[in-house]
Amino acid sequence: MCGIVGFIGTSNAKNIIIDGLKKLEYRGYDSSGIALFQNGGLKIKKTIGRIANLENAMLGGDYESPGGIGHTRWATHGAPSDVNAHPHSNMAGTIAVVHNGIIENYVELREWLTKEHGVIFLSETDTEVIAHLISLYYENDLVDAVYKAVAKMRGAYAIGAIAANEPDKIVAVRKDSPLVVGLGEDCNFIASDIPALLKYVRKVYLIENNETVILTKNDVKIFDKDRNEIKRDVFHVTWDAVEAEKDGYDHFMLKEIHEQPKCIEETLSRRLTADGKIVLDGISMTKEDIESFNKVCIVACGTAYHAGLVGKTVIEKFAKIPVEVDVASEFRYRDPFVDDKTLFIAISQSGETLDTLAALREAKRRGARVLSVVNVVGSSVSRESDDVFYTWAGPEIAVASTKAYTTQLVCMYLIALYMGLTKGSLDREEFDRVITELKAIPEKLKTLLTKEPVIADLAKTFYKTEQVFFIGRGVDVGVSYEGSLKLKEISYINSFAVAAGELKHGTIALIEQGTLVIALATQDALYEKMVSNVQEVKARGAVVIGFAKEGNQAIENQADKVFYIPECRDEISPLLSVVPLQMLAYYIAKLRGCDIDKPKNLAKSVTVE
C-alpha cells in the first residue's frame, strides 16, 4: 500500500519524482524518500511524514540528476521513521530499491544474509532485504542481479531498483502489486498508478505479473520470468489530470460527494440505450449462461463489500439466483464452494486490492466465471476477469470512498436487472419501472445536495460524540455499515453498525443516556418495524437522528432529529440515503480537525494482504 515513482531522462528527476509522489500520496503517507543518480554514485534523502517534509528537507541542496526512484510509504514492517522510509540501499550505498508490497520470507532471508554474508541491517523493514539480495548478486549487471534476487523472494511486490554503476537504467519487477510504465520523449517512467504520470505522458504500458522492465531514457523493454522479451500494446490514457484536482473544494472528499450525480448519470448512460435497454459492452452473458449459474458469489473489501451487500438483495430479487457475499480477505481460507456453475463478482474501486485479486484467482482456479466491477480501466482485477463492468466514477482521490460506492451500486442494479430480464424472472414492465427510477436518481441527488447546510448543522450538534450506532433493516443494513465506516475512518469516532432487529440480541446493552443512534428507516416495507426499533433505543436514553423518505413523518414522534430523502423505490434508496451519511461524516471530521482526505493509518489502494 505504498507508491513508487521512477524517472530516467534528461530533465531534473528530483522535481518530476516528487511531483509524481504527491499524486500517489493517497497510497500511503507515513514517510517518503528519493534516490538519485549523482556524480557517479547515489544520493538518498528520506524523511518521516508527508511528502512536503521531504520536499522541504531538499530545499537549497544539490539534487540535480537525470534519473532516480522515489517512494511514499504506508508502514507494514517497522514504525514510520526516517530509517524505515524507502528507498533502501545496500551497505555500500551503491544500490537502491523502492518497493510496494510484502516480502513474506524476509525473516529467513534476513537471517541468511546476516549469518552467511555479514550483512548489517539498519531498518526493521522487509524491503531492505531486497537491496542486500540484489547487492549480493550484483556483478555490474543490474538486470541479472534483480532476476536472481527475485528468485529468492516470496510475496507480493512492485520493485524499482537502480545501481550507481549503471546510471542510465532503472529495473522494475511486478508480482501482484500494481506497476505501470510511462512512455515519454527522451524519457521514461515507472509508477504504481497512472495519476503519477499524467502531467508528463499519456502513453503507458500496463505491466503484468512476473514481468521485469528495463528502462533507459530512449527505450523500454519488458521480459517474462524466463527472460524472454514481450511485446506490449500501448495503453492510451484518455482522462485528464484536472479531474484529479480539488476544483475549489476544501477537500477531495467533498468534491467527490458533489460529483455523484454526474458519475451516476455517466455510469447509467454508458449502459442504457435510448429505449431503456441495458447494453453490457464486453460482457457476453447469454440466457443460457445465466440459467447455468446455481449461485452468485460477490467478494470485496470495505466499502465495495457494502455495495456487494446491496447487490445480494437486488440480484436475488430480480434474477432469482441465490447470492453469497464474502469479505475477500476471508474467502480463500474457508475452502469456498465455487465451481463452473458459479458467477463470481469481484468489486474493487482500484482494481488492485490484493485480497480481492487473490480471491478472484482462487475462484478462477475452481472454474467460476468472473465478472468484475471496477473503476480503473486496465487494472489487475479487470485484466484477469472474464467480463468487466466499469463504474466510470472518474479518479477518486480521497481515501474515504464516496462516488465509487454509489457507482458500484448502480452497476449492481444494472447487472441484477439485466440478468433478471434475460433469464425471464423479471417482466419488462417491472424492468422499465426500475430503470425509470434509476434514471431519476441524479436529479434527486442534486436536490438532496442542496440540503448540505442541514447536515452541517447536525454535525455541529454531534461532532463531540465519541460513540455512535447505525441501525437499519433490509438494504439499509448495508448502508448502515457504509455510513459507520465513513464516520470512523475520517473522524476516528468509535462507530458501529448493526441490523436493527439484532439490537435486542446484545448490542442494546451498550445504549445508555445520550448515546447517539443513527437510524435508517428508508424502506417502506420495514418502516413501522424501524420506528419500533427507534422506540427501543429511545427508552434506554439514546439520542436519535432518523433518516426516512419524504412523507414518512411518523418517525418524528420518536427521533430527536429527522432528515428526509426524496421518494424512491425501497431497493434503490441506498443511492440517496448514503449521501447525507457521507456529508455528516465529512462535516463531523472537519469540525474535529481531522485530515479528511488522508486519514491516519489508512491508504486508498490496499495492495497488501
**Which residues pair with residue 465 across a beta bridge?**
none
Q: Name the grid cell of 88.
A: 533502501
Nearest-angstrom CA–CA distance, 446 and 455: 15
Do 240 and 234 contact (CB within 8 A), yes or no? no
For the chain, what is the radius of gyration of the CA atoms?
A: 25
Q: Which residue has the cell 523500454?
A: 220
Cα 417 from chain centre? 26
CA distance 371 to 375: 13
Grid cell at residue 453: 447546510
Distance CA 491, CA 485 (A): 10
Catalytic residue (one of 22, 312, 486, 604): 604
Out of 2, 263, 301, 568, which one is annotated catalytic? 2
Residue at grid coordinates 530509517: 83
CA-based diameter of the chain, in Å? 79
For residue 507, the tally of other CB atoms under 10 A from its CB is 17
> 10 Å Cβ neighbour count for 428?
9
Q: What does the alpha-carbon distance between residue 509 and residue 591 come to, in Å, rounded to a whole number? A: 29
Opening angle at CA 318, ends 502 and 343, nearest 5: 90
Do the beta carbons of residue 289 and residue 296 sit within 8 Å?
A: no
Instruction: Provide the grid cell at 465.
Output: 460524540
Using the Cα atoms of residue 489, residue 493, residue 499 and residue 500 in order, give the sign of their dihedral. negative
Encoded amino acid at 85, one letter: A
Which amino acid would we find at residue 294?
N
The yes-or-no answer on residue 263 being catalytic is: no
All 3 cell numbers of residue 3?
507508491
Q: Is 2 a catalytic residue?
A: yes
| Contacts with 274 (C-beta within 8 Å, 6 or more apart), sequence order | none
Closest among 410, 210, 179 to 314, alpha carbons compared: 410
d(CA 381, CA 346): 8
Neighbours of 219 (CB within 10 A): 11
- Say which DSSP state 159 is in: E
- Give the angle subtended at the CA of 366 by the CAs of 362 and 371, to the nearest 5°: 70
Residue-wise DSSP of 439-483: HHHHHHHHHHHTTHHHHHHHHHHHTT-SEEEEEE-THHHHHHHHH
The answer to whether the CB of 149 falls within 8 A of the CB of 156 is no
CA–CA separation, 606 and 353 (whole Å): 5
Q: List Cα–Cα distances, 307 to 265, 314, 325, 581, in angstroms.
A: 18, 11, 10, 15
> Mind telling me the catalytic residues?
2, 604
